[in-house]
Amino acid sequence: MRTWILHIDMDAFFASVEQMDNPELKGKPVAVGGTSDRSVVSAASYEVRKYGVRSAMSVVKARKLCPEIIMVPGRMGRYKEISQLAMGVLREFSPTVEQASVDEAYLDGTGLERLFGPIDEVGRRIKARMREVTGLTCSVGAAPVRFLAKIASDLDKPDGMYIVRHEEVAEFLRTLPVGKIPGVGAKLLDVLKRLGVRTCGDLLLKPGEYWEERLGKYGSALYDRARGIDPTPVTPHEASKSCSAENTFREDTTDRTLLRKWLLSQSERVGEDLRRHGYKGRTVTLKIKYSDFSQITRSRSLDGRTDNTGVIYETACGLLEQVKLPRSVRLIGVGVSNFEARARQVTLFEEAPARKEATSELDKAVDEVRRKFGGTAVTRMELLDFRKKPTNSED
């Protein structure tokens, strides 16, 4: 039985949902995001992409490229609703579905040919059913391995389908630009260019040991990809790998007191989210974006995993103190990663952390009060005089 993995990618998802819900927007250059000059584009319709507008672009630049652009505020609740419908469609075809993000997923299609016919027909049926249930189009890529399926889904957008058959893998990879391989970023691409590599075929001109010596484990994995090898399976219901919150300010600032208050507010949101889902994380990360859009992250690994708001906040503040702030700050955020989704047991050689556990119980009590009476029912003393000014993004 031949292995097939499919990658399904909803087309311009956020913008397409807005156009579906508001027919007056159909065929028009629509982008989802904030409306102020300091906002960024979260998603762009295909009509506005023709002008060069892309996600993560500043609204100012987007308006210069397309003066007729229509900016629409995002509605994450609505997008999640449609996303759930889309994932439900995929599970009608296979129980082995891994949601990669709100608008894309992998599906293990091995054996589906017995039920639905050739892989081409499987793809067509998925696309038809997706349109029927969600009202939206999707692009489908199919291949023997996961990374090729993802590449394939991007080759015939929008509303397309591209299949890399088993016997076509070697020739497909021979001329494929190495930058198309998922995970090959700008830095690695620069290194590869200096080594004379432009395509996957170029990687095969040297043995695997050559690339492992120069690039370590990445070299070995890259050599495998160039040969069409990717053992990564489709894993249903993969747990979240991190939890974070960030805010973009309307006015840049260097006020460390204000930044610490934002970190406390964000740490509360992150801690509550962790506790709600039953996760604890070992690594706390601080994210700062400066007024010139340059960005830094600083991380610290804790001795044990935590979902404690106070621990998250104190760690983030410690990281902030180590940053010199050479320019004013446009965005600040905090995140927790390196999760453990089970209760932690104190070992024989470890003293029970009574103070931290007590604080965690307080966190849980505050969570319960806020769930019953609203988010402002309980406020930390440090935030009593803190008035959150509207921001362009709050994740």
Catalytic residue positions? 104
The neighbour count for residue 124, using CB atoms within 10 Å, is 15
Give the strand pairing for 138-143 and 5-10: antiparallel
Q: How far is CA 189 from the centre of its chain?
A: 21
- Using DSSP, state whether 104 is helix, strand or coil: strand
Contact, 8 vs 107, CB < 8 A? yes
Provide the token pair at 175.
């001329």
> Is the bond preceding 95 in cis, omega lying within 30 degrees of 0?
no
Give counts: helices (H), strands (E), the chain: 15, 12
10 Å CB burial of residue 209 (0-12, 13-18, 19+) is: exposed
Q: Is 395 annotated as a binding residue?
A: no
**Rg of the chain, C-alpha, whole Å:** 24
Residue 103 assigned ligand-binding role: yes
How distant, in Å, are the alpha carbons of 38, 280, 286, 313 from that of 319?
26, 20, 7, 10
Cite the annotated binding site by residue number: 9, 103
Cite the annotated binding site for Mg(2+) by residue number: 9, 103
